[in-house]
Structure 1
Amino acid sequence: MVRRAAGRAGGPGRAGGPVKGARRPEVRLPPLEPHEGSALEPDGDYDGLEFRERDFAGQDGGGARFMDCALTGCALDETRLHHARVLDSVLTGVRGVGTDLAESALRDVELVDARLGGVQLHGSVLERVLIRGGKIDYLNLRRARLKDVVFEGCVLVEPDFGGARLERVEFVDCVVKGADLTAATLVDVDLRRAAELDVARGVDRMAGAVISPAQLLDLAPVLAAALGVRVLGEVGEI
């Protein structure tokens, strides 16, 4: 069961208007039963279950539905969850490389202290999702749709938002290294509280985002390069 919190309005956004804050999920799980099965099943239906310290490496749960579930300390190396639906659930301390969640749907989900690499979420839909703590390397969100998503206190290394649509997305106290925004669409994206912000590609797609004055100075070199502006010293200056 989920109760949804209203987002906060921030400072001025596009055209001087207020920034629409993301609505965070507030997941309240019912009493859970431990999952007794030995493996995930394609198109499996998991409702009100707790998965604790399970090793799902290499398993196929494509098309599965997880509702009112808790996954704690589970291994997801090369786990296939293509077209999965994760609803009203909490994932804590999950870890793995190459987890395939392509074209999945995540709604009212909390992902806490994850350690993931090469996660495939391209073409997925994320709505009211909180990603808090942990580190995710090479997160693939190409052509995904993110609405009311908060990245908080986490480290994102080379996240790929190519062709994605981000609406009411916040980055809070997190480190973003080498982000790719190529062909992305941003609406009410608040980057001001990111602890570190590095955009490797697609800086020209940042219309619709809000940054701080300090971040503007940090991004000046890539903004100048995107505009084809050369920055030189005064004539005769060494």
Structure 2
Amino acid sequence: MPRELTDLPFADLLEPAGAIAREGEYDCLRFDDAVLTAPDAAHTVFDQCAFRSVQVDGGSLRGARFTEAWLHGVRITGTDLADAAWMDAEVVEGAWSGVEASGTELRRVEFHNCKLDSVNFRGAALTKVRFVDCVLRHVDFGGATLNEVDFAGSEISALMVRDARLTKVDFRGRRHCASPKGSPPCAVRSSPRTNCSTSPRRSPRPSDCWSNRSRAATISAARG
């Protein structure tokens, strides 16, 4: 279950935040109902911060660090988040569209009821990350490392995993892709170079992870 703002262990310490500056350091601040247009906030540090109903359009948060951050209803569009670091963070009812997140490190991060569309996670490292009841469309994990990642209740389409390393990645709880009536459900397709282990409890079934001869790897509608 995603947490509410009042559930956060640092909720009583949060203070209203002002503007965000490049390479700034922010600790125990609350960002509410803000619109950030083309922010120049590369290498900014957010430690135990809360974001609620914030919209970020374009700009750069490249190399930013989010530690114990809580984001609720945050929309990020066309923003550079490459090489950012997320640790012990929670993203609830968010929307990421056209986000550049290559080289990002995510450790113990949960996404709840989020929509990720055309997000680039190439070369990223995800450890103990959960996508719960999310929608992922045209998300690229090419060359990324995914360890203990699950997609419970999530809808997935056109997920790219070319040359990715997948260990203990569980797609079993995902929902079928949204597709025209009569189309077959999604299936996992990965290149021979992809290490795909869907669960530590058993070997993957073909419906969880199948290899084809193509180097390109996608999650797409299975052909009969």
| TM-score normalised by structure 2 residue count | 0.80
Which residue matches 1:153? Answer: 133
Letter in 1 for 2:126: L
Unaligned runs of 5+ in 2: 1-6, 178-185, 216-224
**C-alpha spacing 1:50/1:195, structure 2 compared with 1 (3 Å):** same
Matched, 1:43 2:23: yes
Unaligned runs of 5+ in 1: 1-25, 228-238
Which residue matches 1:209? Answer: 197
Number of residue pairs aligned between Structure 1 and Structure 2? 198
Which residue matches 1:119? Answer: 99
CA shift, 1:176, in A, is: 1.0
Q: Is the 8 A contact 2:155 2:175 kept in 1?
A: yes
Which residue matches 1:184? Answer: 164
Name which one, 1 or 2, has greater alpha-carbon Rg: 1
Letter in 1 for 2:117: D
CA shift, 1:191, in A, is: 1.0
Letter in 2 for 1:34: P
RMSD value, Cα:
2.6
CA shift, 1:225, in A, is: 6.0
More helix by share: 1
**C-alpha spacing 1:218/1:69, structure 2 compared with 1 (3 Å):** closer
Q: Is the 8 A contact 1:82 1:100 kept in 2?
A: yes
Which residue matches 2:10? Answer: 29
Percent identity between the two aligned chains: 32
Letter in 2 for 1:114: G
Which residue matches 2:61? Answer: 81
Higher RCO (Cα < 8 Å, 6 or more apart): 1
Which residue matches 1:99? Answer: 79
Q: Is the 8 A contact 2:110 2:130 kept in 1?
A: yes
| TM-score normalised by structure 1 residue count | 0.75
Q: Is the 8 A contact 1:27 1:88 kept in 2?
A: no
Deviations 1:155-189 (A, max 9, x none): 00011000000001111000111011101001111
| From 16, 29, 40, the counterpart of 1:60 | 40
